[in-house]
Chains A and B, each alone.
Chain A
Amino acid sequence: MQTEQATVRGAGRAGPVVLGVAGVVSLLLLWQLLGALDVVPRSSLPGPWSVLGALPTILSDQDFLAGALDSAAATGLTVLVGSLVAVAVGLVASSFAFLQRPTMVVVNTFRSVPATALIPIGVLIFGLGMQMKVSIALYAVVWPILINTIYGVATTEPMRRDVARSLRWGWWRQQALVTLPSALPSILTGVRVAVGIALVVVISTELLGARYGVGTVLVQYTQASRPEVVYAGVLLLGTAGALLFSALVRAERRLVRWVHHD
């Protein structure tokens, strides 16, 4: 790896940026070419310029902005509630030996039903509002966090647990000062995965009928056959998603570093 990296030394320190830009530009050219050669009809894949031109349209669309807020709120609420529930259940389940494996059986069984399949029943029970979005997304989000919590607890240094036990710490104290800090890196990974899943599921519910949200607005633009606006929206969502993930990774590293310093 190191020898290979030395060969790109010619590009210097600005290398990654230049090469990254070159990569994006080459893909844009390919995109333009696909349209120009009529490989994909314009009506389904508009050229890059018309998509970029549609960015102001979608950014000034009040429905889109309100929908984005709504989707973000649903995702945030889901991840928050889901993390609290899953971490609590995970800590309890892994504190008792007779609960560990049975819990994993339950988790693996229910995890196998993709949450998106449950959207029709969610609509019947909860209607088309926020409650439906959050409850369907919760179903999707709880399992990865729970699994990561259980794994995280299982990898706790046994010595630390022995110390806590010999100090005769109570259950709460042991969880808060020993188990939770050592499981934190694993839990945070689970939460990061959960954010992505929550976003996907929330947008799925919007495509299939929720009354407000980014997905609803994009479906409206599709039906109005304005594909360039749809693509612009997808680009925006991708950018937002990428920024969110890099922020999460950074926050995670900071928290985990703190754990290691402890």
Chain B
Amino acid sequence: MTSPTTPPLTPPLTPPLTPPLTRTRPGRATTALRRTAAGVGNLWLLALVLVLWEVYGRVSESLFVPPISRILENFGDVWLGGPASQLFLSDLFWSEVTTSLSRFARGWGLAVVVGIACGVVLGRSPVIAQMYGPVVRFFAAIPNTVLLPIAVQIFGVASNMNVFLIFLGSVWVVMINTADGVAGVDPMWLRSARSLRVPRWVLYARVIVPAAAPQILAGLRVSLGIGLILMVISELYATTEGLGFQIVVAQSSFRYLDMWSAFVLIGLIGIVLNLAFGRIETRLLRWQRRTGLDAL
């Protein structure tokens, strides 16, 4: 909360310049503490938005938009409150979240494997790229929720339907990004690998895929979001369990608080997945940069 309070102290001569100046002064010992303080300080706008929501919810007394405090209270009742052996999470949490996430993991995992494999082939062979590149772009352009009725027709109302839809929605972005990344690998690296008589699989595993990693990971990040969207929509459309199904049940039985707390849970899952992915990404790319320097 330091940054918003400093500008009013110094009259608005050059407000954008003041926070960085104060931030650079302290010694190294306190930088870690400072950093966490800054992290907390960055939350003030979010807190403000939530307070406004609370006020709106209380003033309007709308059934459909309850104040955030009541949503969080309900969230605690429905999704938390289990015994310590379940990490204080309720039975419902474990059954629904594992159902949804296992579908997501299967669909997205398959998309990652297939997407990267096909993408490498597309990126390495110009002939195959010219044959199937346009088709891949066509599939990528289909608004993928349109496939929902078809997926239900093929698989019926079963987990495989959700997995199939998540796979089909997220595979193209991964494939296109991998193909672009692989096609853009520095030809010098390929030539030096060839002159070193590197075996074929080493060439792919140690040169081509790592060199394309930044772009592959960018594709994976986008596909993560798409996969989550499709996980939820496919559960809203036709299923008998999972998070989306909980929303549908809550809506049709007029339990709006339950509905909102399910939104909160889905949001939290999204945040956790994105953070975890970001961690993995920096880890992988740090390694990639180091080998890049070593190669020089």
Q: A96-B16, A106-B46 are in contact. Are A241 and B143 (CB under 8 A)?
A: yes
CB < 8 Å neighbour of B153 from A19, A118, A222: A222
Q: A114-B228, A207-B237, A222-B152 are in contact. Are A98 and B15 (CB under 8 A)?
A: yes
B68 to chain A, nearest CB (A): 12
User: In the assembled complex, which residues on chain A have CB atoms less than 8 Å from the CB atom of B137?
Assistant: 242, 245
Interface string of A20-32 (1 = CB under 8 A from B): 1011101100000
Count residues of chain B with CB under 8 A from any CB of chain A: 70
CB < 8 Å neighbour of A219 from B18, B143, B149: B149
Q: A96-B15, A121-B64 are in contact. Are A106 and B49 (CB under 8 A)?
A: yes
- The CA-CA distance from A111 to B154 in the complex, in Å, is 32
Interface string of A209-234 (1 = CB under 8 A from B): 00000110011001000010011011
> Is there a chain B Cβ closer than 8 Å to A56's Cβ?
no
By secondary structure, the B interface counts as helix
User: In the assembled complex, which residues on chain A have CB atoms less than 8 Å from the CB atom of B225?
Assistant: 114
B108 to chain A, nearest CB (A): 14
User: In the assembled complex, which residues on chain A have CB atoms less than 8 Å from the CB atom of B285?
Assistant: none
CB–CB A105/B153 < 8 A: no
CB < 8 Å neighbour of B42 from A4, A105, A110, A119: A105
Binds A, one of B25-33, B83-91, B123-131: B123-131
CB–CB A109/B271 < 8 A: yes
B67 to chain A, nearest CB (A): 15
CB–CB A230/B130 < 8 A: no
Interface residues of A in 229-262 (CB under 8 A from B): 230-231, 233-234, 237-239, 241-242, 244-245
Q: A8-B126, A98-B15 are in contact. Are A2 and B187 (CB under 8 A)?
A: yes
> Is there a chain B Cβ closer than 8 Å to A40's Cβ?
yes
Binds B, one of A58-66, A178-186, A197-205: A197-205
> Is there a chain A Cβ closer than 8 Å to B295's Cβ?
no
> Is there a chain A Cβ closer than 8 Å to B288's Cβ?
no
Binds A, one of B110-118, B213-221, B262-270: B262-270
Chain B interface (Cβ < 8 Å from any Cβ of A): 3-4, 6-7, 15-20, 38, 42-46, 49, 64-65, 126-127, 130-135, 137-139, 141-150, 152-154, 183-184, 187, 225, 228-229, 231-233, 236-237, 244, 247-248, 251, 256, 259-260, 262-263, 266-271, 274
